[in-house]
Amino acid sequence: MRCCVPAELKGKKKGAYLPSISPNFTPSAPLHELAAPSLSPPYSQENLLNQTCEIESPEEEKLDGTTFKDISVHKKVVGGLLAVIGRDEETPSRKEVCYEPLGCFTDDAPWSGTLLRPISKLPWSPEKLNTRFLLYTREHPDSFEEIKATSPATISQSNFNASKITRFITHGFIDKGEENWLSDMCKNMLQVEDVNCICVDWKRGARCPYTQASNNIRVIGAEVAYFIDVLMTKYGYSPSMVHLIGHSLGAHLFGEAGKRRPGIGRITGLDPAQPYFQGTPIEVRLDKSDASFVDVIHTDMLPTIPYLGFGMSDPVGHLDFFPNGGETMPGCSKNAVSQIVDIDGIWEGTRDFMACNHLRSYKYYSDSILYPDGFLGYQCSAYSEFESGDCFPCPSNGCPKMGHYADQFKDRVTFGFTKLYLNTGDARVFARWRYKVSVTLSGKSSVRGYINIALYGSGGNTKQYQIFHGKLKPAQSYTELIDVEIDVGTVNKVKFLWNNNIINPTLPRLGASNIIVEDGKDGKVYNFCGSETVREEVLQTLTAC
């Protein structure tokens, strides 16, 4: 995987991005403490207040390649803006860095020095990270307008409309905010709704060692929170109209933002990153306490070691969706050449080659915008139970929708975690509609072979789906759940086909006497009857009875 520190950041401009600070600034009260009541004892406000911002042995301290000396010189000049606090003899490594107006960031537990986060890194400065907010609107759908919280004039000059919902989208590790998937997601949204769609770009902070990137998101999360603060003060904008959509590390980034700016309407975590976050306390990672509604899509939840799964397996939101079980996605096990030489180009293919399962989460989300009921999540305790049909069909008040329309189920979230399962397609369009089909066979002879069923309805007809493969016995029923590629609507006929793939001299005939189709969406049951039998590879049409 590509990962490097941008060359221009390596040696140059040491200390140049040190922030200026107002005299009344207190580094001892980080903003996020206000929103996170359950902080661990060493991180409480009292402890920090007791600390004096003293600097010891500046020559020995190293801070992210920048010698500490530079900072201490600067610090003397500005007067205590950048505090590196040696806590005591046992934990001499504790450091803190402060950036006005965002607050202070320590490398103390739980941020570092724990079993789950062994390598300690301090986040980079906002200047070094160069976070950008790229606005797409219906007036400006094809190119972005860059807006800045630090100069609110850029917001008022842009097409930002304070009466509309604002959706922020951000990327993860190594990725960038100008990447096509972010703007494509905005374009999909602008097709169905009039919103302010803001892509948050932090590529400088994302293209560095993972341990650094996973700490950089703390500063960027604070910047997003600050951006929302500016919207609040400038436009009286309610944070409940803000929706944050983050992929991978970006999910935790928005978790941080939500923690610092309480009252955010919704956060969507698209396969939140696993290393450095899974199992950590809630102030480190995305959690359901970060917004009034948090929905998560898990697509790559196998352990990072040894399976290289990048996404979290723990449920962390109000609604947690596990499409295809959440571990391996269909269409992601192609051979290397086929994966890289993708229909959407070599770049898209290379991305999928590196992290196909992980990237599926935003593809599902993007599709869900255009197919509102193509991603129904069935509440179930495990994927195997979902597969065997134990959680079929949807309850009478409907299934939550994975992706864009998950917030329609906002009012029905329970105290615990809600695990939702569904299956998707293997390529775009990923939307699928689930049906349960039971076939009762008729005929005289029993043969080995398979049964195919195709559904015909007001919305069109599906391809043939295999219901069963094995010994076909007359009068026996075979039941299977299928995920079909179109919304059939009202089912008005069914076609049945069987085949055994070998030449059988007895010329057997089989038919379906009865087929029951159950729609997963509303539990509607359709009954179809047939009286004839057919030879293999001949379609039998069954009509309602």
Partner 1 sequence: MEKLWVLLLLTFVLAETFANPRGLITNLDNGELCLQSVQCKSRCCHKNSLLGLARCMDKAAENQECSRKHLYGFYYRCPCEGGLNCDASWTIGGVITNTDYGICRDPKDSNARKEKN
Q: Which of the residues are catalytic?
A: 248, 271, 358
352 and 181 Cβ atoms separated by less than 8 Å: no
Q: In degrees, to the nearest 5, what angle opens at C-alpha 476 toward C-alphas 471 and 480?
A: 80
- Using the contact rule CB under 8 A, the part of the chain among 93-101, 211-219, 398-406, 449-457 near partner 1 is 449-457
Phi, psi dihedral angles at 61 (to 5 degrees): -75, 135
- Using the contact rule CB under 8 A, the part of the chain among 206-214, 260-268, 369-377, 448-456 near partner 1 is 448-456
Q: Which residue has the tokens 């069987």?
A: 498
Q: Which among 354, 374, 352 is positioned nearest to 364, based on CA atoms?
A: 374
Q: Collapse the DSSP code of 77 into the 3-class scheme (helix H, G, I; strand E, B; otherwise coil) and give the result.
A: helix
- Count residues binding partner 1 (CB under 8 A): 25
Site string for partner 1, 393-422 (x = CB under 8 A): ------------------------------
Interacting residues with partner 1 between 307 and 346 (CB under 8 A): 331, 333-335, 337-338, 341, 343
Find the binder of partner 1 among 54, 344, 426, 522 (CB under 8 A): 426
Q: Collapse the DSSP code of 411 into the 3-class scheme (helix H, G, I; strand E, B; otherwise coil) and give the result.
A: helix
Nearest distance from C-beta of residue 468 to partner 1, angstroms: 15
Which C-beta is closer to partner 1: that of 225 or that of 329?
A: 329
Helices (H), strands (E): how many in the chain?
Answer: 13, 23
Which string of DSSP letters, residue by residue, matches 372-394?
A: TTSSBPEE-S-HHHHHTTTT-S-
515 and 496 Cβ atoms separated by less than 8 Å: yes
Q: Does 166 bind partner 1 (CB under 8 A)?
A: no
Which C-beta is closer to partner 1: that of 135 or that of 451?
A: 451
Nearest distance from C-beta of residue 43 to partner 1, angstroms: 49
Site string for partner 1, 478-517 (x = CB under 8 A): -----------------x-x-x------------------
Find the binder of partner 1 among 525, 537, 543, 544 (CB under 8 A): 537
- Using the contact rule CB under 8 A, the part of the chain among 20-28, 37-45, 250-258, 453-461 near partner 1 is 453-461
Nearest distance from C-beta of residue 337 to partner 1, angstroms: 4
Q: Does 56 bind partner 1 (CB under 8 A)?
A: no
Residues contacting residue 154 through CB under 8 Å, at least 6 positions apart:
145, 146, 147, 148
Nearest distance from C-beta of residue 471 to partner 1, angstroms: 19
Find the binder of partner 1 among 158, 278, 418, 452 (CB under 8 A): 452
Q: Tell me how far CA of residue 169 lies from CA of 147, 177, 322, in angstroms.
A: 14, 8, 21
Nearest distance from C-beta of residue 340 to partner 1, angstroms: 9
Q: Does 44 bind partner 1 (CB under 8 A)?
A: no
Nearest distance from C-beta of residue 361 to partner 1, angstroms: 19
Which C-beta is closer to partner 1: that of 159 or that of 499?
A: 499
Which string of DSSP letters, residue by residue, matches 136-155?
A: EETTEEEEEEEE-SSSTHHH
Find the binder of partner 1 among 10, 62, 463, 469 (CB under 8 A): 463
Which C-beta is closer to partner 1: that of 202 or that of 498?
A: 498
Which C-beta is closer to partner 1: that of 22 or that of 335?
A: 335
Q: Tell me how far CA of residue 458 lies from CA of 143, 292, 430, 495, 517, in angstroms.
A: 39, 39, 21, 15, 15
Distance CA 25, CA 185 (A): 39
Interacting residues with partner 1 between 427 and 446 (CB under 8 A): 427
- What are 199's two structure tokens? 């892509």
Find the binder of partner 1 among 460, 470, 489, 523 (CB under 8 A): 460
Find the binder of partner 1 among 3, 475, 525, 539 (CB under 8 A): 539
Distance CA 134, CA 403 (A): 22
Which C-beta is closer to partner 1: that of 125 or that of 513?
A: 513
Fill in the amino acid letter for 272. P
Which C-beta is closer to partner 1: that of 107 or that of 342?
A: 342
Nearest distance from C-beta of residue 427 to partner 1, angstroms: 6
131 and 55 Cβ atoms separated by less than 8 Å: no
Nearest distance from C-beta of residue 345 to partner 1, angstroms: 12
Distance CA 322, CA 327 (A): 8
Q: Which among 6, 30, 14, 5 is positioned nearest to 97, based on CA atoms?
A: 30
Q: Collapse the DSSP code of 204 into the 3-class scheme (helix H, G, I; strand E, B; otherwise coil) and give the result.
A: helix
Nearest distance from C-beta of residue 93 to partner 1, angstroms: 49
Q: Which residue has the tokens 């917004």?
A: 291
Find the binder of partner 1 among 370, 382, 516, 538 (CB under 8 A): 538
Strand partners, 376: 401
- What are 85's two structure tokens? 């606090």
Residues contacting residue 85 through CB under 8 Å, at least 6 positions apart:
51, 52, 53, 54, 94, 95, 96, 106
Which C-beta is closer to partner 1: that of 1 or that of 343?
A: 343
Peptide bond just before 488 cis, omega within 30 deg: no
Which C-beta is closer to partner 1: that of 145 or that of 487?
A: 487
Fill in the amino acid letter for 542. L
Contacts with partner 1 by CB under 8 A lie at 331, 333-335, 337-338, 341, 343, 426-427, 452, 454, 456, 460-464, 495, 497, 499, 537-539, 541
